[in-house]
């Protein structure tokens, strides 16, 4: 009996201890679970940090449809002949007969690109890899037609398609070295090249005949009664509308250059020395032009030559070479040719003093003499909101430049009798 009671007592104690243990465990478990979760999360966070630090920054995506000469020349240090071969295989097909001459007339062959861009050439892009659009028009396996090479501006066949993209290059042409060399007595040809004889100045006007070799009046009005490039509105009045004969042409191909610069003549630079003339333009913003891009749309003008010339005019946006007495004025009267650097925009700007000074047409000593500049300066002084429109498209909205005011030379006071 006694043993039985002791046994029961021991069982009760053990039962009580078990109960206490279970209750304690229930109370401690949430804490243990919370602590364990924090430790696990901390370990996860710690394990993630190294991978985040090791992750390399994402490089900007390259648009391979926009070929960059700057990248290939400045970063990759490639020379022109790394890609361009002179002459290209198609030079005899570009121009016929005596007009044909060895030239760079096509884009580089595929081998030039595959050396570095094999991955882009065989990219799984439809209808074709995007890199192909730099040279090819339709960019399909069945249509292999290419854009017309940019240096072939003298080819006018409408079937030839041009890709209108801004050039990264400027052409460094030393005018002062050519004035006394290039003449206009007429060309004499051999089977390959055109040679010109030297005749620097005209006796009548002291005009450099060499200027007209490269620069002719574009779309002249001549004897026609139709003076506007496109039909103006009936209520135009005195408002501005672009007229024919406003611009001069500039060389758009190697045709005139290779007349003298070729392997047979020995005159440096040789035809294959591309980098002597073609220079990468700095990335700095180009000077502002007196051009409103809305006007060509309003006037329905789509001609590429006009748009290029007009959009780069840094002086008078409305000046017309064929207008008024301008055809009788020599080029040297307005352009400082000897100091002109085609890669330096400042040297290409025509100074306002070219418009007359005290002895000129548009700038006179006094307003009474009818100078256009005099009138607009006086109007601007009276009303700062006045817009000068005699010569300018956009520039006339700004303040009067200092050189404009200095161009007006006050009339010399009349001497008193007996003085």
- Residues 26-56 have pLDDT tens digits of 554 555 455 555 555 555 555 555 555 566 6
Using one digit for the tens of pLDDT, what is the confidence trace for 213-243?
Answer: 889 999 999 999 999 999 999 999 989 999 9
Q: Above 80 in pLDDT, residue 183?
A: no
* Average pLDDT over every residue of 190-207: 38
Residue, of 167 and 209, whose pLDDT is higher = 167
Strand-pair partners of 187: 196
Mean of pLDDT over the chain: 80
Assign 188 a pLDDT band (cuts: 50, 70, 90).
Answer: very low
Assign 311 a pLDDT band (cuts: 50, 70, 90).
Answer: very high
Contact 247, 309 (CB under 8 A): yes
Residue, of 343 and 193, whose pLDDT is higher = 343
Q: Above 70 in pLDDT, residue 383?
A: yes
Assign 360 a pLDDT band (cuts: 50, 70, 90).
Answer: low
d(CA 301, CA 308): 12
* Average pLDDT over every residue of 88-103: 93
Contact 316, 344 (CB under 8 A): no
Using one digit for the tens of pLDDT, what is the confidence trace for 313-333?
Answer: 988 999 999 998 888 888 888
Assign 352 a pLDDT band (cuts: 50, 70, 90).
Answer: confident
* Average pLDDT over every residue of 129-157: 89
**In the chain, what are the domain boundaries?**
69-165, 169-350, 354-412
pLDDT at position 138, please? 84
Residue, of 178 and 229, whose pLDDT is higher = 229
Residue, of 84 and 1, whose pLDDT is higher = 84
* Average pLDDT over every residue of 291-295: 95
Q: Can you give the pTM of this predicted structure?
A: 0.73
Using one digit for the tens of pLDDT, what is the confidence trace for 53-84?
Answer: 566 667 678 899 999 999 999 999 999 999 99
pLDDT at position 325, please? 86
pLDDT at position 133, please? 92
């Amino acid at each position: 009996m006694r043993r039985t009671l002791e046994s029961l007592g021991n069982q009760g104690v053990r039962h009580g201890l078990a109960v206490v243990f279970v209750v304690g465990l229930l109370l401690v478990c949430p804490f243990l679970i919370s602590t364990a979760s924090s430790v696990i999360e901390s370990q996860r966070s710690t394990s993630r940090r190294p991978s985040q630090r090791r992750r390399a920054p994402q490089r900007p995506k390259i648009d391979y449809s926009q070929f960059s000469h700057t990248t290939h020349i400045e970063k990759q240090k490639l020379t022109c002949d790394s890609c361009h071969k002179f002459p290209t295989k198609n030079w005899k097909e570009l121009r016929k007969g005596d007009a044909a001459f060895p030239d760079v007339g096509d884009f580089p062959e595929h081998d030039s690109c595959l050396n570095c861009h094999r991955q882009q050439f065989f990219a799984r892009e439809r209808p074709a890899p995007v890199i192909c659009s730099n040279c090819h028009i339709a960019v399909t396996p069945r249509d292999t037609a290419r854009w017309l090479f940019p240096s072939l501006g003298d080819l006018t066949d409408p079937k030839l398609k041009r890709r209108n993209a801004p050039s990264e290059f400027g052409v460094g042409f030393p005018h002062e070295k050519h004035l006394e060399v290039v003449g206009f007595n007429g060309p004499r040809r051999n089977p390959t090249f055109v040679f010109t004889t030297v005749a620097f100045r005209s006796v009548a006007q002291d005009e450099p005949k060499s200027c007209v070799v490269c620069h002719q009046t574009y779309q002249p009005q001549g004897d026609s009664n139709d003076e506007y490039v496109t039909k103006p509105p009936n209520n135009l009045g005195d408002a501005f509308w672009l007229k024919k004969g406003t611009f001069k042409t500039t060389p758009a191909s190697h045709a005139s250059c290779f007349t003298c610069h070729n392997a047979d003549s020995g005159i440096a630079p040789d035809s294959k020395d591309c980098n002597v003339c073609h220079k990468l333009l700095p990335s700095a913003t180009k000077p502002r032009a007196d051009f409103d891009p809305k006007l060509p749309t309003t006037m329905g003008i789509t001609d590429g030559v006009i748009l290029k010339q007009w959009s780069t005019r840094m002086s008078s946006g409305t000046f017309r070479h064929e207008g008024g007495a301008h055809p009788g004025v020599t080029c040297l009267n307005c352009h400082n040719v000897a100091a002109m650097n085609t890669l330096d925009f400042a040297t290409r700007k025509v100074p306002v003093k070219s418009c007359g000074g005290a002895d000129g047409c548009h700038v006179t000593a006094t307003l009474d003499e009818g100078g256009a500049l005099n009138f607009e300066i006086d109007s601007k002084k009276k009303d700062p909101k006045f817009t000068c429109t005699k010569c300018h498209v956009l520039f006339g909205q700004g303040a009067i430049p200092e050189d404009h005011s200095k161009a007006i030379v006050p009339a010399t006071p009349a001497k008193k009798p007996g003085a």
